[in-house]
Amino acid sequence: MFSIHHISPKSIFTAWMFSIFLGAALPGQSGMAPRIGRYGDQMRIQLESGRPLAAAAEALEVQYGWQINYEDPPSYCPQEITNVTAQAKSIAGNAARVPVLKPVRFEPTFIQPVDPPTASERRAIVSRVVEAARKYIGRNYTFMEMGGSFDLIPSGFLDGNCKFVMRSSVMDTRITLPAGPRTFDRALQEFTAALSKAAGRPVGLGSAPLNLLGQTQLPLAPMGGPARSVLRRLIETSKRKLAWQLLVEPGNGMALLNLHQVQR
């Protein structure tokens, strides 16, 4: 899939999938499933998750059919992480160290929109959810809207020394992709390889509708700029309604790019 500093793509992917599996399987790690309901004269998202903003984005996607892309911060404070190696061994035998993000309760509210929501209502709702991240998880996020989709971008977070820092995210890294026709799945593999090299950390392609993407031909012109913008242009060129999440593993900083179809 990609290589960086002689790290095996297979080992990276295996470690990631194992961590994700355990996060879902271990009691208390996945928390409360997202739901959106009426709260007085407002709507409220209720959930508990190690990645509450990502879960809230998924809840809005299911409720309204919006494309909302999410990025993890590039680092975590050790106090945001819990080690579940003992529980992992009870499930999967001789497991390696398994760090996961501690679940956080997240309950942003917003004014119920009309049906269908207007563009200004969409922006207001996403803004309320992003602002709630400061209150509930102590991170600053900004959002960018383009072509009807939203990018949730980390801008302030705790580093490995638990110091609050204002830094750019992994997807701010500038990359280039050469011109030439290729399938969408091949273009994504080239994208993650270019991002790995430029960012100086392993970035892999995780879950994605590869059967569909393998049948999608892209007549690409040369692309360059922040990785976020390059990925946006790839998706626009594919004519597919896709949302993505870049998840950073809390133990070693590996990043995994997941894509899925937005159904509504």
pLDDT at residue 41 in the model: 82
Which pair of structure tokens corresponds to residue 36?
A: 């959106």
Please list the residues that pair with 157 across neighbouring strands. Answer: 165
pLDDT at residue 40 in the model: 84
pLDDT at residue 1 in the model: 35
Enter the pTM of the model: 0.86
Do 4 and 196 meet the contact criterion of CB atoms below 8 Å apart? yes
DSSP labels, 233-262: HHHHHHT--EEEEEEE-TTT--EEEEEEE-
Q: pLDDT 10s digit of each residue in the chain, 264 long?
A: 333 333 445 545 444 544 444 444 443 345 678 899 998 889 999 999 999 999 999 999 999 999 999 999 999 999 999 987 656 555 555 556 788 999 999 999 999 999 899 999 999 999 999 999 999 999 999 999 998 899 999 999 999 999 999 999 999 999 999 999 999 999 999 999 999 999 999 999 999 998 888 989 998 889 999 999 999 999 999 999 999 999 999 978 899 999 999 987
Omega before residue 74 within 30° of 0, cis: no
The dihedral over CA atoms of 205, 211, 212, 216, expressed in degrees to the nearest 10, equals 80
pLDDT at residue 87 in the model: 60
Do 102 and 80 meet the contact criterion of CB atoms below 8 Å apart? yes
Do 254 and 204 meet the contact criterion of CB atoms below 8 Å apart? yes
Cβ burial 16-26 (10 Å sphere, 16+ → b, else e) = beebbebbeeb
Q: Rounded CA gap, 8 and 202, in Å?
A: 10
- Residue 65's Cα: distance from chain center in Å? 17
What are the E-state strand segments in the chain? 35-39, 42-49, 67-71, 81-83, 99-101, 104-106, 109-111, 140-146, 149-158, 164-166, 174-177, 180-183, 203-205, 217-220, 223-226, 242-248, 255-261
pLDDT at residue 25 in the model: 40
Q: Rounded CA gap, 209 and 93, in Å?
A: 30
Q: What's the farthest any 2 CA atoms get from each other in the chain?
A: 56
pLDDT at residue 91 in the model: 53
Q: Report phi then psi at 245, rounded to 5.
A: -135, 135
pLDDT at residue 93 in the model: 55
